[in-house]
Chains A and B, each alone.
Chain A
């Protein structure tokens, strides 16, 4: 049974304003949980917590950022008792693939000049590529690229220093690019090229250029 009618809640300006961010919260919750049902529960929990804590919200500050912080904390408390997972790529980010690993012409082939987006075939892959990112990178990228929060706001939402936000963003985006590049390579959208990294980078490049092996790896990952 519904405790009160939705009509009764319409009189609450806080609830009304909070609900204008529901779609955004749901979109990010889907990316965090990778499960639409869990995303619904997560968003609902976050709203109830926001209602409970609304005395702590300072009018005039960013309600959307505040709601996202609650969503993130709720996610961590409920699904990840140890906090967001540590990056598997911890260590110096002198990843040979991270910087300047494809030529300008290859990068050009990845994007669609018409739509300011990726090539349609590459874009199909971005959902999987995003889901494959470690949660802390995924969240940073989505909060910045999709929700357009500032670094400072993201630091507040994720509870980490701004430098960490920048590092997560940079590496998250690089990982996305690498996945998309490998996908495009496998599909023959771009031609494999000599990698400008060290020997290890080249070895990996050679591996992913093998279509059969790439597909097998993908199947294994699913």
Chain B
């Protein structure tokens, strides 16, 4: 038995130990182990190391983590329910029909359902009801958006991955790539406080050379923040967005999966609306 033989088999010892060896090689190793004390000890040492590793690595998660995760998963599910029941009516009955002990569920999500109802009404072209019930709430979202768009602060994150990393601070999914499908280029994003919530301001450039134009997108948790501005519904393909003007800029609003998007640019309103409708395109 030469050292060379053992070296050739060294890798196979791993597979042998892991039960990943094909039958022919298994017999070969078995036979070799019968006559080679070094390799036999090697296998024993690998087994011993494995036993120790299990003791070191296996652990119980700390108390409280399960609850945190359960809550986070439920929140995610609620967001999805909202997407599934776009007009909010089915969601409402589902929520209010839920069993005892679920009052904590009902209150916050009911607010979201109300937002969805308002949204649905607006999208169907019945702005009257919205204007009457919500008049006076102001358009601070649009003001914020346009202020940020016209005099942007430097972004905190300057690529898609880093921008997605801001998800953890804002608490809703961020997909900066949605708008890049239109040929736009992400400049960056930053977290902005908005009505005591955290939202995200994304900056993009679309077009090249002299044609290059900036646009900004305010991304917010639509379950916590309502858009009360008087925007007109507009169809883009099969999607509906809401459009308007603010201080000379084109603005457009879209909402998907519980996340709201407000877009501002000095592009013409049609092009601006098309950009906003990108959020409805599936990945």
Contact = CB atoms under 8 A, between A and B. Distances in A.
Contacts of A18: 73
A98 B47 CA distance: 17
A205 interface: no
Interface residues of A, number: 69
B10 A4 contact: no
Q: How big is the B interface, by class?
A: 35 or more
B59 interface: yes
Given A22-B65, A116-B51, A31 B57 contact: yes
Interface stretch (B12-20, B116-124, B181-189, B246-254): B12-20
B105 interface: yes
B54 A9 contact: no
Contacts of B14: 166, 169-170, 173
Main secondary structure of the interface of A (DSSP, over half): helix
Contact of A19 (B49, B70, B168): B70
Interface stretch (A47-55, A57-65, A84-92, A214-222): A47-55
B38 interface: yes
Main secondary structure of the interface of B (DSSP, over half): helix
B7 A5 contact: no
B1 to A, nearest CB: 11
Contact of B57 (A12, A28, A116): A28
B206 interface: no
Which 10 interchain pairs have the tightest Cβ spacing?
A: A111-B48, A4-B74, A117-B51, A26-B61, A3-B75, A104-B41, A107-B41, A51-B76, A104-B37, A99-B10
28 contacts: A3-B105, A4-B74, A4-B77, A4-B78, A5-B104, A9-B77, A15-B70, A18-B73, A19-B70, A23-B59, A26-B60, A31-B57, A36-B62, A40-B61, A51-B76, A98-B10, A111-B44, A117-B51, A123-B55, A123-B56, A126-B53, A145-B50, A145-B53, A146-B58, A151-B15, A151-B18, A180-B49, A196-B3
Interface of B: 3, 6-7, 10-11, 14-15, 18, 20, 37-38, 40-42, 44-62, 65-78, 80, 98, 101-102, 104-105, 108-109, 161-162, 164-165, 168, 173
Interface of A: 1-9, 12, 15, 18-19, 22-24, 26-28, 30-31, 36, 40-41, 43-45, 47-48, 51-52, 77-78, 81, 98-100, 103-105, 107-108, 110-112, 115-118, 122-123, 126-127, 130, 141-142, 144-146, 150-151, 166, 169-170, 173, 176-177, 180, 196
